[in-house]
A and B are shown apart, each in its own frame.
Chain A
Amino acid sequence: MRSIHRRRFLQLAGVGLIAAPFVNMLRAGRARAASGGAKRLVIFFSPNGVVHSHWRPTGGGADFTFPAGSILEPLAPHQADLIVMDGLNFFQADNHEGGMAAMLTCKGGAASVGAGASIDQYVATELASPTKFRSLEFGVQTSPWGGSNQTRMCYAGPGQFVTPDDDPSSVYTRMFGDLMGGDEEVAKLRARRQRVVDLLVDETKALRARVGSEERPKLDAHIEALASVEQGLQAGGSCDAPVAPGTTNPLIDTSIPAVTKAQIDLAVTGLACGLTNVATIQLSHTVSPSVFSWVDGVAEGHHALSHIDDSNAAGVAQFAACERWSAEQFAYLIEQLKALPEPDGEGTMLDNSVVLWAKEMGDSRAHVCTDVPFVLAGSACGYFKTGQYLSFAGEPHNKLMVSICNALGLTNETFGEASFGAGPLAGLAS
């Protein structure tokens, strides 16, 4: 996994075919640029809110520290690359499910910016990168309960979940399966898959013509899914495939550390190879019952621990220790992005990215979506003034999402439900 390098996409399937659309789309992307020039978005999620007394840094502004033993302390080596945010609220949302749904959508309806999609899907659509994947959703035990408003955070539109892939082996096959072998072999495989996709689109359209209006969105979604797979077959971007992840049963709690690391590694590889520019890494889901038995002394489920009140200091400390483990994973993600130079660009990959750690609630004991903690990493090519700890007095987190869009060169002034607030968050831009 260490020897990643990006082959120039021109080598893949002949110069003319691939190069022309790629270049055109790059230009289209640049034309949208406002002030930020970040190339990619990475969102990292860990569930069940937070206990602020174990999370908050001391100090404020550019002068802050992570107290010893606190949840965020593992991020200390990257302090200069971070913006830690406190005091953001999800408007008109509460509880586990409400928080999970509002976190990345900001409660947008069909007519709002984002049209009800989550920020990652909105950004993927707007960037319209000619990558193999519009976006990649990496999961760690997100799906044992199936898809629901508890287990999903990415939305293609109102109520339309985007399902993460919980199995690193499956992700690996999807990412690299048709990049193996000689160039000619790869081109042939892709061409035939493309023929099959063409046939499937024809059949799906023929079926669509027979159904009533209520069933049509189902087939429209299918056609859209085929189109997105088609884009993948046409896309450039290539690498020497890394070593396949080991096979562990991703459903067992004790596999969580290994699966998390494998998924972060794959996400970083996918971004470095240009297979996608938008990635989400979702650790479990709200109300997660995972038992973090590898963290000292923990034998209870994560959700149960998250609800322990302050009179049980030992119990709260166990929850904080679990959250500290999550912080270590976020730190690992930052490290990996920092270790890689930006392909065909300047600085590190982190410098050219927006990386966000999001949670679905504030104080988990109270089931509220106020004071929801966020951590941004990466300066987005200098757009963000990093190295800050900012407290907001109940601003809607919609504004954070606007800031993120702007950092990626998008010019929208609202995101999600517009009445909650417009414009970016003050103090983030440099």
Chain B
Amino acid sequence: MNTHRASMITRVGPLAALSLTAAALLALALPACSGEGDEQQGDCPADEEFYEREVWDAFASMTCYGCHNPEGTAKATRMILDPDDVAHNMEVMATLAAEQVDGASLLLLKPTMTHPDGHGGGMVLKPDSPEYAALAEFVARADGSFVCEDGEGEAPSCEEIGAGPRALRRLSHVEYDNSVQDLLGVSGELGAQAASFAPDNVINGFTNNASALTVSSLLVEQYREAAEALADHVVENQAQYLSCAPADGQSCAESFVRSFGARAFRRPVTDEEVARYAALYQAIAPEDGFDVGLRWVVAALLQSPNFLYRSELGEHQGDGVYALTPHEVAAELSYLVLGTTPDEELRALAEDGTILDPAVLEAQAQRLLADPRSERTLSRFVDEWLGVSLLPIVTRDPTLYPEFTPAIRAAMLGELHRVVDDVFRSGGTLAELMTADYTYATDELAAYYGISGGGEADAEGFKKIPLDGETYGGLLTLGAMNAAHAKPTSSSPIHRGVLVRERLLCQELPPPPPSLDTSPPPVDPNLSTRERYLQHSTDPACKGCHELIDGIGFGLEHYDAIGRYRMLDGVHMVDATGEIVRSQDVDGVFDGHAGLQSVLAGADEVGACYTRLWMEYSLGAEIGGELDCVEDELLVAFNDSGGQLDALVMALVRSPHFVIRGGGATVGDPGDPGDPTSGGTTGGDTGMDTTGGTTSGGTTGDPGTGGDTGTSEGIEVEVVTDSMWEQGECDTVHVHNVTDAPITWEVHLALGGNLTNYWNAKVTPDGANSVFVGEDYNAIVDAQGTTSFGFCIEY
């Protein structure tokens, strides 16, 4: 705490300048965001408009229509939808919405699989999803219980939303390796520690979502193994890392902690931190000498949360607005573009605060973009965006496809990365990527494809080769795309159709309904792949969903299971005609890859999808809520540039989000409640009353909870809502002991929803209440003391 304050004081100069910048940036952001669909600001959209936009287009046309069509598996139900008559669909769904079972609407019970008779299609909506929230509002509109309050039903303005959440982002495994390589100058196996780390959770195809990057006990052990191996290297090569004499012992160790620690933590190390590491050194070195002491210091620094988590917490400027520190901004930029720890130039600009000058920040972004290492960050995005990361290990039948060697697989990824990088660096657009008339291939890969020509080979043997557009040409024809999205023994119109739907159009496809026989067509040599799969679009039970998928996938039938162009599928001439249905604006028939790509190339929805997915990757977050405004800004910038791939980086760097967090009207100031495990609390800058004891036994500021009978005598409870969103909230509960004796506390709360998470307390249900008691470390609250716990609920 003291350390934290002290560091604020030392940075008073740059911060004072920053608050002005912050306010200016925040104000600038508003017009772009609040303009969307709000000619009737303060009013709610009409029912028809709401239904079409939030229910039909958003999900019902995919999730429900697949079965609920005149011929689908749900044709015997009362919900039969018509893709060409949205008004009819609204009427049908409104009728069902009004029907109740045990007090709940049929329209909400069925898709969530909570109807007593189940749902033929299984669970297709989760109760915590935005789709469910939209459907719930539709039900309320249908039964007349919906009240349009000021702003309700409208997306909140950017002023209400603020500049995005404060965050801790654990290094992704790729960032960990890059950082270690740059910090220690190691390469090879030593610089590839993360190869043995437990893979992280994948969120919408991306491995760097900050909410999923947590540290398990398995990862703690793996971090330890890696850090100890790296520490051994440092000790063995210490001349390279020390600017002092080992003979100086403790003082040399301390100076190492300051200099190396500042680089590892991406900010100056506090005196308190130096003391911590010095104590570790001192516990070891007297017994085993400097080298061993140094080893454990390095090992600890590399396991420190200050190394493992990137901080985007900022410092409070008042009104819930947090300004990121210069060091945080430098790190944010460095990891955004290069995926690694800030270099010396960035560190110097952070040290004197000038990185916060928008012109300096932009110039630095340009400098990093020109660094060849920025290609690996882009390539990583491309791999996860297009789902080709597993190409090196996918199984393809070795007897059918002996040519599909590890070298060919690797060359295909090299090809894809170079084509995207070429478009990116030449200021090219997404449309150009979709229709590129060139590729990059090694001689071996060129021979594999049967293409030739090209200029000088690069260091890894890739030549830029012109393409005719007939056999190859454009993103979807690259070997990696079709080889990664295929089956072990055949092409797969399904995998490729799903790829286009989910990664180029950003449409989520419903799962196959339970009990429907989803057997893939057996490989019958008398039929082409297309003929086998055509069953999907003729069988009425399958058609509703598969016409979304296979019609697109058929367009890539000229590519076999290992990404080679073919005229024949077995003995059959390839028919690559296809059709896109139920898109926003690319519906229609097309012929082959060229036809498909030219339809997709100019489409707004493909640009919007690209923007969204790039943003998910770059922010390490799913878009929604507080990040909606950032998305709007980026999309405007992307479209203004004509769809240039490189427009997004600069747009993000220029956005308020890049330097400011918080400030949303609906999000409370989480402040700094101190460490509840220490048994104390602080008023500090939290802005809440923790000393007045005015909230005797009650709750404050919290519509989600109420009731407290049963709470220990002598305990006063204060509930502070830290964050609230449509489906739930997270609260901190302060437990004040107003007596002069310690109390083993118990707090009874009636929660306004289902408990989804809680911390620093144990909970047991008791009728309508939840009974919280402390963990071992905070079960007893001292005389006149305070402790706290927290929880999140889902309404």
Contacts and interface: CB of A to CB of B under 8 A. Distances in A.
Contact of A196 (B165, B280, B513, B723): B280
Interface in A151-170: 157-158, 160-165, 167, 170
A94 interface: yes
A346 interface: no
Interface residues on B, range: 35 or more
Contact of B199 (A146, A173, A202, A204): A146
Contacts of B122: 94-95, 98, 367
A200 B300 contact: yes
Nearest to A167: B196
A120 B272 CA distance: 41
Q: Which of A95, A199, A226, A312 has the most CB of B within 10 A?
A: A199
A339 to B, nearest CB: 29
A111 B113 CA distance: 21
A308 B524 CA distance: 14
A207 B170 CA distance: 13
A203 B305 contact: yes
Contacts of A253: 395
Contacts of B518: 307, 365, 367
B58 interface: no
Given A110-B758, A214-B730, A301-B395, A196 B670 contact: no
Contacts of B1: 209
Contacts of B3: 206
Contact of A92 (B113, B198, B283, B758): B113
Interface string A127-151: 0000000100100000111111000
Counting chain A CB atoms within 10 Å of each CB, the highest count among B198, B219, B299, B511 belongs to B198
A304 B395 CA distance: 13
B202 A94 contact: no
Contacts of B672: 209-210
A203 B306 contact: yes
Nearest to B303: A200
A303 B215 CA distance: 31
B276 A199 contact: yes
Interface stretch (A7-15, A215-223, A329-337): A215-223
A146 B199 CA distance: 5
A225 B215 contact: yes
Contacts of A196: 224, 280, 296, 299-300, 303
Interface string A222-234: 1011101100000
B202 A148 contact: yes
A110 B394 CA distance: 38
A204 B674 CA distance: 13
A20 interface: no
Contacts of B678: 205
Contacts of A146: 199-202, 207
Nearest to B662: A212
A308 to B, nearest CB: 5
A290 interface: yes
B166 A215 contact: yes
A21 to B, nearest CB: 15
A165 B197 CA distance: 9
Given A164-B198, A366-B514, 16 more contacts: A93-B123, A134-B217, A147-B199, A195-B283, A196-B296, A199-B300, A203-B276, A207-B168, A209-B675, A213-B731, A213-B790, A214-B670, A214-B723, A218-B214, A366-B517, A367-B513
20 contacts: A110-B755, A110-B763, A137-B218, A144-B199, A145-B202, A163-B216, A174-B225, A177-B225, A192-B284, A209-B4, A213-B731, A214-B730, A217-B759, A221-B215, A228-B220, A229-B217, A291-B395, A299-B399, A307-B520, A367-B516
6 closest Cβ contacts across the A-B interface? A212-B670, A146-B202, A147-B201, A213-B722, A309-B519, A143-B199
